[in-house]
Amino acid sequence: MTRAAVLTGLGTYVPPRVVTNDDLSRTMDTTDEWIRTRTGITQRHWADPGTATGDLAVEAGARALKSAGSADVDLVVLATTTPDHPCPATAPDVAARLGLGNVAAYDIAAVCSGFVYALAAAAGAIASGTAERVLVIGAETYSTILDPADRTTSVIFGDGAGAAVLRAGEPDEPGALLGYDLGSDGSLKDLIMVPGGGSRQRSEAAGETAGTAVSEGGRPADSYFTMQGKQVFRHAVTRMAASSKAMLRRAGWEPASVDWLVGHQANVRILHAVADQLGMDRGRTVVNLDRVGNTSAASIPLALADAIAAGQVGPGDRVLMSAFGGGVTWGSTALVWPDVTPH
């Protein structure tokens, strides 16, 4: 029988600093009502200066390992758009700080779809026998890449981290991930982007200086996150709904049999629109973005943990997870929720 990846631990962490809509209205041209009516967000958590993505990942990872009852893992997969450094990857440092020894560790960059992509990568390692237990983390400090003058992005994003421990198990046991639907469309890469900081910008700057090495180039604004909101909204609904339907077919589930849709927490209107396209009751959609904002790769595990704490998701529930992010990328997976207590 094929080895399955079974979720056996869940941990989350958000930095303590809370930034409300009213706080933002004092520094930019916006209001609490404007933000709430367009996004559903009332507050978010931002990291204090000196706190990086790796710090949040370590906290969430430690809590997931505690939830799983063991720190015995042989692979760490970290999904993030905001790594501590362009080079090296953040995952090896996180593994070392968690005291995991010389385990394999790498980053995945699929933006808001990152956690689903990381789950798929971890499950592949388990299925192939490369790993027995994997720590999967989604962690972000989006506050470090937001343009403080851009109300269309700065009001949306928050910082946080969520982690899950997967172990090798049987496909029919609770917690077993039932498959994946993943996709991308690079022709839409401009919809969600940080223009500067990569080889594209650096090579152009080098050419302008006749081959002279440069450490930085371009406009300061190139280091900020950009998003074409209206087009992102449309593609997110379309792709998440189609991906969710494909995943349900793989799992052999009817939409009416799904207890909870845990979608990427970008916008409450996107979540409700996806539920509508699936023919699901909007009340079966997990929503926590009102309290944490869009935390990108961390959003699905954070939403899961909050739903469990609120008494919504419980053992035996059928859970469908779906996300859409930059690249553009999208992905879905599903499982019957096991008896796991988040930390």
> Which residues are known to be catalytic?
112, 264, 294
Partnered with residue 322 across adjacent β-strands are: 263, 332
First-residue to last-residue Cα distance in the chain: 32
Q: What is the CA radius of gyration of the chain?
A: 19
Residues 13 and 161: their CA atoms lie apart, in Å, by 5
Residues 233 and 273: their CA atoms lie apart, in Å, by 10
Beta strands in the chain (DSSP E): 4-13, 18-20, 43-45, 75-79, 104-108, 133-141, 159-169, 180-184, 192-193, 226-227, 260-263, 318-325, 329-336
What six digits make up the tokens of 326? 């930059």
Q: Coil, strand or helix: which one is 166?
A: strand
What six digits make up the tokens of 282? 């909007």
The dihedral built from the CA positions of residue 232, 195, 46 and 67, taken in this order, carries a sign that is positive
For 215, residues 6+ apart whose C-beta sits below 8 A from its C-beta are none
- The answer to whether residues 5 and 75 touch, using CB atoms and an 8 Å cutoff, is no
The conformation of residue 48, written as its DSSP 8-state character, comes to P
Q: For residue 94, give the amino acid letter.
A: V
- The answer to whether residues 93 and 52 touch, using CB atoms and an 8 Å cutoff, is no
What six digits make up the tokens of 19? 């930034």
